[in-house]
A and B are shown apart, each in its own frame.
Chain A
């Protein structure tokens, strides 16, 4: 689908492009800070994931949704979403394999010291991956709209 079919949705603006180019690295850094530092300050996977997702949305607003869609690797988005759920579940179920309860982090202590903090960090990152990829996915899916799939099913397959 070409971009001129969605007139009005994208306006090429030097101001917006320059601003996004300057701001987006900082926003992504802030997202990672919120995710990694969620253990010691406000924040965590949910909030950081949303902020990370908003970086892609900012890029899409500045450079056009179709350009952002071409630039984005859909495999990365899918891998973040499903990998996040699998990582979280694996950490939880791993303790059950070791004979404990679900998410009883202390049982990993025999392999790595201070593992509880690391495991919680990993869980936060997994949540962040899920939230970021689903936010990005919902954004592109909504932008494409329903007609996109129904009108041209052959193009998509």
Chain B
């Protein structure tokens, strides 16, 4: 698999942001690194031709999450830090490293990006083919993702919507408020 220049730059950028979010000592700086990481990942999603996921990542990961984290920070005491980086403990590095190795070991078994036919079980799979062939006739919706989300897997989506609703109710309960404001 060959990377174009922009893909390579993005991957390095995302990796640096992720490491920055983990090791930066100042919480606000770490938060900014996390937001930049989310933005980078959202562009990668678009390059992988998953614009729906990219849009969600940009809006939720880089947008709302950052705002909520900043608000949480503003409501807490930010200790005066000395030193740019968090002290790194060896056991944590070993544990995280082992996890990363396990994850990377699964990468070779993934189909190549953009591969067609039998080389890509995701594309040639029976379910995918059914969606591609029938989605418009069944749902009159051109975006296959929306067809799956709102029609074929509508019950799952109702569950997701209720999860979001419950999150709001849970926040109300925990903060002992009665109204959303």
Q: Which residues of A approach B to under 8 Å, CB–CB?
A: 6, 8-9, 34, 38-44, 46-47, 50-51, 53-54, 57, 69, 72, 74, 77-78, 81-82, 84-85, 88-89, 92, 102-103, 105, 114, 116-117, 120, 123-124, 126-127, 130-131, 133-146, 148-150, 153, 156-157
Contact = CB atoms under 8 A, between A and B. Distances in A.
A95 to B, nearest CB: 10
Given A50-B60, A139-B71, A150-B176, A40 B140 contact: no
14 contacts: A41-B143, A42-B52, A46-B56, A50-B63, A51-B63, A88-B158, A105-B151, A116-B139, A117-B139, A133-B168, A134-B165, A135-B64, A140-B180, A143-B71
Contacts of B113: none
A46 B54 CA distance: 12
Interface of B: 51-52, 54-56, 59-60, 63-64, 67-68, 71-72, 74-75, 138-143, 145-147, 149-151, 154-155, 157-158, 160-162, 164-165, 167-168, 171-172, 175-181
Nearest to B59: A50
Contact of B140 (A77, A78, A116): A116
A78 B179 contact: yes
From A89, A136, A140, name the one whose CB has the most chain B CB atoms within 10 angstroms: A140
Nearest to B158: A88
A72 B52 CA distance: 30
Contacts of A72: 181
A124 B164 contact: no
B145 A53 contact: no
A42 B63 contact: no
Contacts of A53: 64
From A39, A124, A150, name the one whose CB has the most chain B CB atoms within 10 angstroms: A39
B157 A141 contact: no
Contacts, number: 164
A47 B55 contact: yes
Contacts of A39: 141-143, 146
Contact of A134 (B74, B143, B158, B168): B168
Contacts of B150: 44, 120, 123-124
A149 B176 contact: yes
Contact of B161 (A69, A84, A136, A145): A84
Contacts of A84: 161, 165
Contacts of B67: 54, 57, 139
B74 to A, nearest CB: 5
Across the A-B interface, the 8 shortest Cβ-Cβ residue pairs = A137-B180, A42-B51, A134-B168, A103-B154, A50-B59, A74-B179, A117-B140, A149-B176
Contacts of A44: 52, 143, 145-146, 149-150
A140 B145 contact: no
